[in-house]
Structure 1
Amino acid sequence: MTDDAAPDLRASDADRERVADILRDALAEGRLDMEEFGERLDATYKARTYGELAPITRDLPTAQGAAVPAVSLSKDPERDGNWTGRIIGGDDEGTSTWAVAVMSGFQRRGHWTAPRRFNCFAFWGGGEIDLREANFADREIVINAVAVMGGIDVVVPPGVEVVVRGVGVMGGFDHREEGVPGEPGAPRVIVTGFAFWGGVGVQRKLPRAEKQRLREERRREKLERKEQRRRELGASLPGLHDHLDLHGSREERGTRRRDDR
């Protein structure tokens, strides 16, 4: 295989996801604005070959400052759906262990490591703790949320078990995601704390990459249905033309008979 042929090779879903991860990191670091991120992410999921993927991240550095490789030609094994690679364990205490919002807001989202215990406080403000793309310092983590006249949202991906133990006074904790069994090996997230004239919500959402993949699948299915209808209509047109020709011939014969009279 020559290098000249490499750009024409078909890219896999894993290749597109690697490029999408680089774009998300660049957005979080401020290297891309939301408009640029959206345009490049859309181009990523539309790309079919390595040659189409390569320019998307060519001007973006890695966290170490080295140039980003266009696309890896080595085929890494696809994820088998287990959580082994996302539960770090050991002495890792997480990327961040606390957050405070006083008449303001905070966010923990994207690629980060959720610690064994995360403490957060919101007063006349709000916060978001998004675990959809996070790694986990342990198989069980605790989010201790205190909301006073404010709100805190916890977002978990499908497959994670959620236990809610918080107490609300003229406020409340969202228990809707409790009781959903977790996948084998998935982490357990315990949400505890206190809410006074405020609330702590728990939502279960698909990761952004999965949502984008599903949107792309629906778009392809829609195009396929449209193409199928076009082919069916094309197949029926010859018979329709024959019917119109026969009908026209009968009208012409009737006109000639009337003229003969």
Structure 2
Amino acid sequence: MTDDLPEMRASDAERERIAEVLRDALAEGRLGLEEFQERLDSAYAARTRGELVPLVRDLPQHSSGDGAVSGFEEGSSEPAPSPGRRRRWAERIGGAATSRWGVGVMGGFGRKGQWTVPRVFTALGIMGGGEIDLRDARFEDREVVIRCFALMGGMSVTVPPGLGVEVRGVGVMGGFDTSGSVAGDSDAPRVVITGFTVMGGVGVVKKLPREEKQQLRDERRAQRELERRREEESGERGRRHEIDKPGGTHGGDEGKSL
């Protein structure tokens, strides 16, 4: 690691590369779900390379952190693909929009699950807000725009890893979470979050899709069950060895017999 690494500004591609390392570690059972989410949040919030390195320093094959942070071709803004972690983005592009508006007046609205995001989705919140969840969504086109307008309210946009996001809204006594901007996978849809807020804000949250979370939980559960069985088998072999060896339980009984 070079001396200037800690102070060098991190790129979106480097943050995404670290995120991929963390996802692989979660799938392998090296990180728990809670710790994974904490590190993932820290990765996307990191401003410098020095903040990224500790997030993968204790993971196998990434002990220095340099490979995960600087493993990009010169001039490239996209992270190297992670084996086995390619999402089928092409299957999620196309189809008729299922909702074009979301309105929350002194209340809230939600768009989540399997819905199709239009080319332009408009969200309005007055003393209220809304939750826009894109983890399981389809997209009418490769690039969609989410326009958020909030007065004394707020909105949350939840995106899956790998999705391209650009945040460029304007806020007065509030604001837009520009740290949520990320390049995304090369074949992923691109979401532009824009709009205007007064005494309110728009946040971007990155989370795994529910299906992937459940799959990872199932894999962890199966792994723990396998480890438990191995421990039981190992303990049983150890007990048999103690019984069969000279001076063991059988040996002691034979010595006492006439």
TM-score bucket of the superposed structures, by smaller chain: 0.5 to 0.7
Residue 244 and residue 136 in structure 1: after superposition, are their counterparts in 2 closer, same or farther (change >3 A)? same
Partner residue, 2:183 = 181
How many residues are aligned here?
Answer: 170
In structure 1, how many angstroms separate the alpha carbons of the residues matched to 2:110 and 2:186?
28
Partner residue, 2:228 = 226
Partner residue, 2:174 = 171
Partner residue, 1:72 = none
- Deviations along 1:6-44, whole A, 9 cap, x unmatched? xxxxxxxxxxxxxxxxxxxxxxxxxxxxxxxxxxxxxxx
Partner residue, 1:196 = 198
Alignment-mate amino acid for residue 184 of structure 2: G
The aligned runs of 1:138-157 (5 Å cut-off) are 138-157=141-160
In structure 2, how many angstroms separate the alpha carbons of the residues matched to 1:215 and 1:196?
40
- SS at structure 2 position matched to 1:190: strand
Partner residue, 1:256 = none
In structure 2, how many angstroms separate the alpha carbons of the residues matched to 1:168 and 1:112?
28
The offset of 1:247, in angstroms, is 9.5
The offset of 1:248, in angstroms, is 6.0
In structure 2, how many angstroms separate the alpha carbons of the residues matched to 1:219 and 1:82?
26
Partner residue, 1:245 = 249
Partner residue, 1:85 = 91
Contact 1:82 1:184 in 2 (8 A): no
When normalised by structure 1's length, the TM-score is 0.60
The offset of 1:240, in angstroms, is 2.6
- SS at structure 2 position matched to 1:183: coil
Alignment-mate amino acid for residue 144 of structure 1: R
The offset of 1:172, in angstroms, is 1.8
Partner residue, 1:137 = 140
The offset of 1:218, in angstroms, is 0.4
Does 1 or 2 have the higher relative contact order (CA < 8 Å, sep 6+)? 2
Alignment-mate amino acid for residue 249 of structure 2: D
The offset of 1:176, in angstroms, is 2.3
The offset of 1:206, in angstroms, is 1.3
Question: Which structure is larger by alpha-carbon Rg, 1 or 2?
Answer: 1
The aligned runs of 1:210-225 (5 Å cut-off) are 210-225=212-227
Residue 246 and residue 190 in structure 1: after superposition, are their counterparts in 2 closer, same or farther (change >3 A)? same
Alignment-mate amino acid for residue 190 of structure 2: R
Partner residue, 2:64 = none
The aligned runs of 1:40-119 (5 Å cut-off) are 81-88=87-94, 92=96, 94-119=97-122
- SS at structure 2 position matched to 1:176: helix
- Deviations along 1:164-218, whole A, 9 cap, x unmatched? 001122212112221x332122110000112222210111211111111110000
Aligned-residue sequence identity (percent) comes to 49
Task: Work out which of the residue numbers 121, 124, 138 in structure 2 matches 1:121.
Answer: 124
- SS at structure 1 position matched to 2:240: helix
Listed as ranges, the gaps of 5+ residues in structure 1 are 1-79, 253-261
The offset of 1:83, in angstroms, is 1.7
In structure 2, how many angstroms separate the alpha carbons of the residues matched to 1:245 and 1:137?
73
In structure 1, how many angstroms separate the alpha carbons of the residues matched to 2:172 and 2:225?
52
Moved over 4 A (4+): 246-249
Alignment-mate amino acid for residue 166 of structure 1: G
Query: CA-atom RMSD, angstroms?
Result: 2.4
